[in-house]
A and B are shown apart, each in its own frame.
Chain A
Amino acid sequence: MSTTERQSAPVVPLWTPAVIPDGAPSKIDPPEGEDLITVNFGPNHPSTHGVLRLIVTLDGEVVVGLDADIGYVHTGFEKNFEQKTYWKGIPYSPRMDYLAFFANELAYVGAVEKLIEIEVPERAQWIRTLFAELNRIHSHLIFLGTSGVELGAISLFFYCLRERDTVLDLFEMVTGVRMHDRYPQFGGVAEDLPKGFYAEAKKFVNEMPQRIDEYLDLVAGNAVWEDRYRGIGVIDADTAIAMGLSGPNLRASGVPYDLRRAQPYLAYDKLEFDVITSDRGDAYERLMCRTREMYESVRIIDQCLEGMPSGPVMADDRKYVLPPRHELHTSMESLIHHFKLVTEGFRVKPAQIYYPVESPRGEFGCYLVSDGGTKPWRTHFRAPSFVSLQSTAMMAVNRYVADLIVVVASLDGVMGEADR
């Protein structure tokens, strides 16, 4: 019995830049043809980083059609915010992008702070900057580790999680919890840095660059990584901007756009750091951009530790700020303020605001509409993962299904944030 050899569809060569398809930009319609097979890639698949469902049409081993379906972890964050006083929204925000929890909190807290026009003390700004960068390292470590797992290389994952644990230890030392900390509050941060933090953080700052060197030894020039990541998912600068990519995904295509530099917030205008860019725009450069960004984050953390001004960490405006705990036992006014703030909340003038921060994944923005009451009228979050996953189809089409996994990994989507 003879079998006929069936060839897969031809693949486009490496380094072919992605082209925005006609029709819906985030969807590739499969061509007419026989022997095409449509499979569900996900929602439960180890390499989808959560629950991303890709409806993939294959011709042999080649992706010829792709449609992404998200929403499997939709939890109604935005609706929930509308039912809570502003205060009670803070613990919700880090649970969206659970890897970049601190950046989410900063966006929400920053938006409300701008609406209520509260002055955040200098020291609190620096502490926030420090933790924003620790959080960036945390997120990039998970990205780097899992991008190895995607290729079947598990050892890098263990190294990355080791350093991630150190980062989380630092978080625990200051905030009491390892993730989802509710540490930034309207008007500052919850507590000052504890004794001993400086030494621990300094130890981390001194060690971390060598660790990143080690990762780069494992990744850069590694034949497996080179073969799998080079020339895959190429997107040029104009297409990347049109598709709304931001953060390392955009900077890997050669656009030096970083909100820490372009629209400075917190203490970033007082710090020295480089915006890491690359001009080749493929999956490998996106990986390297994130890895090299960790050096810059370490630099920023070091400057924060050395240059941290002294002073209060919380604004002194009892209309918005919870009174210190010890005052509740001695001061009637503090007790009243505490009671009013916790039960009723504070009023925010009717206005709308869009407050973006540079999360590890790109521009994370909080759009807030107030009606003058104690709860937000509408909150909407501009989630960078949500936006970047739109480009999956155009990057992965006409390449092997194995490259699809690399494309999804290199875009670094977090589904909790995409679905909200």
Chain B
Amino acid sequence: MNAEELAAAVEGAVPGAVQAQEDGIDMPTLTIAREHLVDVCRLLRDSHGKNFLSAVSAVDFLGYGDEVAGYFGTESGRDINRTGSWGTPETVAAPAKRFAVVYHLAHVGDGPPERVRLQVLVDDGEAVPTVVPVWPTADWHEREQFDLMGIVFDGHPNLRRLIMPSDWDGHPLRKDYPIGGEPVQFTDAV
């Protein structure tokens, strides 16, 4: 099933859900409106056999397509990364919003997995509805993205930091997180 057929099927059941569609290199990709995400996930799970959530990823597009990003050494060693692309020769269009939350779905059973990618575009501070009720495995995936990328998942039963220490400041995988230096931890214990 290509992206067009899939988008039509989703639109038929959940009107207004599909914002964009694309036949990616590897699998059909649908951009879903945030408020319809859970309905679309339920539909794909129950009517299209996508019983397996491979992963939830989040991408920070801050500076995507802008000129020269990177690491600039300064003596102070702090806050020295500049967001932007890695010297891309042609300009690429950044998505309408800063973050994309990406869901990779598959069919697990006999036969090929027939993967599908869903993505939801959000700005900083906008919450994405949780898909834990649809696929319980999303629990840690969403906690990881909350922790490292700062995406808030609305309705998640246990949205706490998972990877970083619980009192950590900031979200390390964001593009504006300082890479050149970091505050020294545990100084109060000395």
* A binding-site residues for B, Cβ under 8 Å: 20, 23-27, 69-71, 74, 76, 78-79, 83, 114-115, 241-244, 246, 250, 255-257, 259, 262-263, 347, 350-356, 363, 365, 367, 369, 371-375, 377-378, 380, 382, 386-387, 390, 419-420
Contacts and interface: CB of A to CB of B under 8 A. Distances in A.
A246 B57 CA distance: 18
Contact of B179 (A74, A79, A353): A79
Interface stretch (B6-14, B36-44, B111-119): B111-119
A387 B111 CA distance: 22
A-B complex: 5 closest residue pairs judged by Cβ atoms: A373-B86, A244-B137, A24-B158, A25-B136, A71-B163
Contacts of A390: 137, 139-140
Contacts of A382: 54-55, 104
Contacts of B179: 79, 83
23 contacts: A23-B158, A24-B158, A26-B158, A27-B158, A70-B163, A71-B162, A76-B172, A83-B71, A83-B179, A241-B52, A259-B113, A262-B112, A351-B24, A352-B59, A353-B24, A355-B26, A367-B104, A371-B85, A372-B92, A373-B88, A374-B86, A380-B57, A382-B54
Interface residues of B, number: 53
A326 B158 CA distance: 58
Given A114-B25, A371-B92, 7 more contacts: A27-B158, A71-B162, A74-B163, A115-B25, A354-B117, A377-B86, A382-B55
A365 B164 CA distance: 22
Given A241-B51, A371-B85, A387 B140 contact: yes
Given A353-B26, A356-B54, A373 B85 contact: yes
B85 A243 contact: no
Contacts of B144: 386
Nearest to B94: A371
Contacts of A352: 24-25, 29, 59, 102, 117
A363 B65 contact: no
Contact of B25 (A79, A242, A351, A372): A351
